[in-house]
């Protein structure tokens, strides 16, 4: 899966070899000039998702942060399912979350296991076919591998359709690979990795791999480089835009 944050970026994913689209809270909030701390409203996020859905036919997985209050979560899940979303991921941190890649372990406070399990259970009861996937922040918060596995078991028992194991290790994929090895011995539900700060080996046990912020980062670098150099030779052609969005000059057609 590859991140998209608007209709244009979703068209790029649509025309690529990636299997689906990840709608990231980080890249969506950043594209609006806002921090990634659940300040963007559900209605704003839903508008973006509908824009992405209109521009692409590929499966969509949505990053819905902590899910917020249970009553709000069940409401938005129904709306997301109506909008054509295949799966929603919520992370087991207390509201409002701080972005997982921020430095400082004390920023990342894990939610009570029973409370988060109840949110998953209520969420699954609210939808028909859409998957609800639990994202484990234990490694982000520098908790033990054992605690991560305990939380995974609890969330799967509550009805989660899969688990995301998140890590910001800058050395290697060792800790997510260790978790995956232990997880696969115990559970059959899909396991997801988000390799942003680390690289996965070619051979790995993950069922879904999400490249969660790469298109926004690529566009940010390109925009900053252009502003610094104002080199028009580095720009895409207007015709490239027409090609991506499917524009045709029908006045020339008979």
Which residues are marked as active site? 36
CA distance 141 to 149: 14
Question: Is the Cβ–Cβ distance between 87 and 48 less than 8 Å?
Answer: no
3-state secondary structure of 18: coil
Written in H, E and C, the secondary structure of 114-136 is HHHHHHHHHHHHHCCCCEEEEEE
Residues 6+ apart with CB under 8 A from 190: 133, 161, 162, 163, 207, 208
Q: Which helix (H) or strand (E) holds 14?
A: helix 7-14
Give the CA distances from residue 14 to residues 5, 39, 232, 244, in Å, rounded to whole numbers and listed in that order: 13, 28, 27, 10
Residues 6+ apart with CB under 8 A from 81: 127, 128, 129, 130
> What are the residues facing 89 on neighbouring strands?
63, 133
15 DSSP assignment = T
């Amino acid at each position: 899966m590859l991140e998209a944050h608007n209709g244009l970026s979703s068209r790029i994913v649509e025309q690529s070899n990636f299997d689906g689209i990840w709608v990231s809270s980080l890249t969506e909030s950043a594209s609006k000039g806002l921090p990634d701390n659940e300040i963007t409203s559900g209605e704003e996020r839903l508008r973006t998702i509908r824009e992405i859905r209109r521009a692409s036919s590929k499966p969509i997985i949505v990053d819905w942060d902590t899910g917020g209050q249970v009553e709000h979560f069940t409401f938005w899940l129904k709306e997301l399912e109506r909008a054509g979303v295949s799966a929603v991921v919520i992370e087991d941190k207390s509201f409002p979350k701080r972005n997982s890649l921020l430095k400082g372990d004390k920023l990342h406070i894990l939610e009570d296991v029973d409370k988060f399990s109840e949110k998953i259970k209520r969420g699954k009861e609210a939808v028909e076919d859409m998957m609800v996937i639990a994202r484990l922040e234990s490694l982000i918060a520098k908790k033990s591998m054992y605690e991560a596995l305990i939380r995974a078991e609890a969330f799967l028992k509550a009805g989660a359709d899969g688990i995301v194991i998140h890590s910001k290790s800058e050395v290697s994929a060792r800790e997510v690979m260790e978790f995956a090895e232990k997880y696969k011995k115990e559970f059959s539900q899909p396991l997801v990795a988000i390799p942003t700060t680390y690289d996965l080996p070619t051979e790995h046990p993950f069922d879904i791999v999400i490249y969660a912020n790469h298109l926004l980062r690529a566009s940010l670098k390109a925009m900053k480089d252009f502003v610094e150099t104002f080199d028009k030779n580095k720009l895409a052609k207007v015709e490239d835009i027409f090609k991506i969005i499917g524009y045709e000059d029908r006045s020339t057609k008979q």
